[in-house]
Structure 1
Amino acid sequence: MNTPTQQDNQLQANIPQEAFDWYDQYAHGIIDRRTFLSRLGSLAALGFSMSVLSSALLPNYALAEQVSFNDPDIKASYHNFPSSKGHGEGRGYLVTPKSVPNKAPLILVVHENRGLNPYIKDVARRAAKAGFIAFAPDALYPLGGYPGNDDKGREMQRSLDRAKIEQDFIAAAKFLQAHQSGNGKLGAVGFCFGGYIVNMLAASIPGVLSAGVPFYGTPAAKELRENIKAPLLIQLAELDERVNASWPEYEQDLKKNKVDYTMHMYQKVNHGFHNDSTGRYDPEAAELAWQRTLTFFNKHLS
């Protein structure tokens, strides 16, 4: 006889794609929480309890630690940086290899639309473990920082001026590029909203960014795309209809402007497939995408 945990795992594996689509719409402000929960409730007739659905769709950050903050190979700390065109001052999570090689390459790590949560901090640690100096800013710093809750974090981020947030990330990129132990070659990797920020940085500060890896991010404003100079590694999820709808036009502009880009479409995975704290996580696709990311940065930033 199956235990409840085994039964829950079986149910999670069979959750309809619509549930993941509804979560994406909720997470990006297309539907409100009441509508999201109401739609999830409609799946009760199929045998899905709210606890099973919630555990599959909502993050469990206890699962999102591949590199411990006290790993002996890295050193993590927080640093403030000036942002005169943004919110005046920003703050981020800086992670360096314990023995920083002479003039190490630099990677800006950009969070989703909810602030600097534990998953993104872990991504910064993974980058440092691989030999990069990594810096992960928190867009929510002007409001006190990531609140420990994604719903609250999304609400806080929506309340901030989007243009000022973008300026904060531009300032963070310049701050990191000038790091005394860096080689001046800056890469950026971002997820969801962070993927958009990577595209925006490539178009807004082409002289600063040397390489960009947007994970399921929408493109920069059309009038800015002609400025892109850095090579891009674009990571998309086959089931992510919302973001993928923007890709054909973006690709046309990249081709028109002779940008060096590669796009990988990961089959049968959802938006957020790299995030190991939710049921959208796909271990095989996430690992492949991450190894491609590191190879790309080693090629263009060394």
Structure 2
Amino acid sequence: MDQRIIDLFDEYTHRPLRREEFLSRLVKLTGTMAAAMTVLPLLESNYAKAAEPLSGDLVEETISYPGEGVTMKGYLVRPKAAGKYGAVVVIHENRGLTPHIKDVTRRVAEAGYLALGVDALSVFGGTPENEDEGRTLIGKLDAAQNLQNYLKAFTYLKSRPDCNGKTGCVGFCWGGAMANQLAVNDADLDAAVAYYGRQPAAADVPKIKARLLLHYAEMDERVNEGIPAYEAALKAAGTKYQLFIYPGVQHAFNNDTSPARYNEAAAKLAWGRTLQLFSETLR
């Protein structure tokens, strides 16, 4: 697909553009409205791909916990077998707790962890079905309150009798940036994995105690411009980290509900590395 179309969709989902302007510019790039409507389903999420049935070895539940002046809600999936497990907070993209992120939460649990997909939009009553509305609400979150709401997710998880006391997180895009912020702000965090997420301020990097795993897409110029300063600060601080740039792939390459950007080979490689880190730090 024409890289200009991918870049336009990235601008639409992250700036964001009004949908009318996005569609108008998409028509200009593709030539006709019919061509634009053919391309559009390849760009937007197809959540039918995220509707995998729950494994018989897992249990799912909707949970709530005290946030910063608000009751936070989340989607928790855990192994059915009794025991104590490492806990992983799964941090969604800028559309909220979508079916795709719930599917990722199930994948984490299948690997043997307590997995909690927090709904950051609990502040506004929860994630709406309309993705444009979700993106708008994400932009209205109070950053300080939102950070505390995520930090308190770890407090909740550690209070559960089925948690072994070890914690990690994995986030995507907006959630990747939040994973970096959680690493900065939680000295007890054991592992943080950020997929194509904005980097924290270099001055904050020495606060990081968790092991980091950073996944980036080669074609993601918007996010990648922050890599050099972040990596220099990580090296200077002696932080334990791994950083991978996956060649030839787009932002959101892990999202298998977005055909134009998903890259199966890169997604599988990055996910294997993610589970390896969790195995080394959360067992």
Task: Please indicate, yes or no, whether the TM-score normalized by the shorter chain is above 0.5.
Answer: yes
Q: Does 1:176 align with 2:157?
A: yes
Residue equivalent to 2:53:
68
Matched, 1:19 2:25: no
* Equivalent residues of 2:27, 2:33 under 8 A apart: no
Establish whether residue 254 from structure 1 lines up as the match of residue 240 from structure 2.
Answer: no
The 3 A distance-change label for structure 1 pair 149 and 218 is same
Does the CA contact (< 8 Å) of 1:87 and 1:165 recur in 2? no
**What pairs up with 1:34-45 in 2 under 5 angstroms?**
34-45=20-31
Q: Which string of whole-angstrom CA distances, capped at 9 and with x for unpartnered residues, describes residues 131-165 of structure 1?
A: 11100100111212111121111112212222211
Match of 1:89 in 2: 71
In structure 1, which of residues 140, 144, 147 is the aligned counterpart of residue 121 of structure 2?
Answer: 140
**Matches of 1:259 and 1:145, distance apart in 2:** 35
Please report the TM-score for the alignment, with normalisation by the length of structure 1. 0.89
Match of 2:256 among 272, 276, 285: 276
Q: Deviations over 1:226-267 (max 9, x none)?
A: 200111011110100011001100001111110000011111
- Counting matched residue pairs gives 282
Q: Which amino acid aligns with 2:70?
A: G
Letter in 2 for 1:264: F
Note the residue ranges of structure 2 that are not aligned, 5 or more in a row.
Answer: none
Q: Which letter does structure 1 place at the counterpart of 2:47?
A: Y
Is residue 188 from structure 1 mapped to residue 166 from structure 2 by the alignment? no
Counting aligned pairs with the same residue, the percent is 41
What CA RMSD, in Å, does the superposition of the two structures yield over aligned residues?
A: 1.6
Aligned partner of 1:264 in structure 2 is 244
Cα shift at 1:196: 0.7
**Partner in structure 2 of residue 212 of structure 1:** 192
Q: Report the counterpart of residue 125 of structure 1 in structure 2.
A: 106
Q: Distance in 2 between matches of 1:38 and 1:155?
A: 20
Structure 1 residue 286 corresponds to structure 2 residue 267: yes
Partner of 2:135: 154
- In 2, the alpha carbon distance for the partners of 1:233 and 1:170 equals 19
Q: With the length of structure 2 as denominator, give the TM-score of the two structures.
A: 0.95
Specify the code of the residue in structure 1 equivalent to 2:279: N
Q: Which runs of 5+ in 1 are unaligned?
A: 1-14
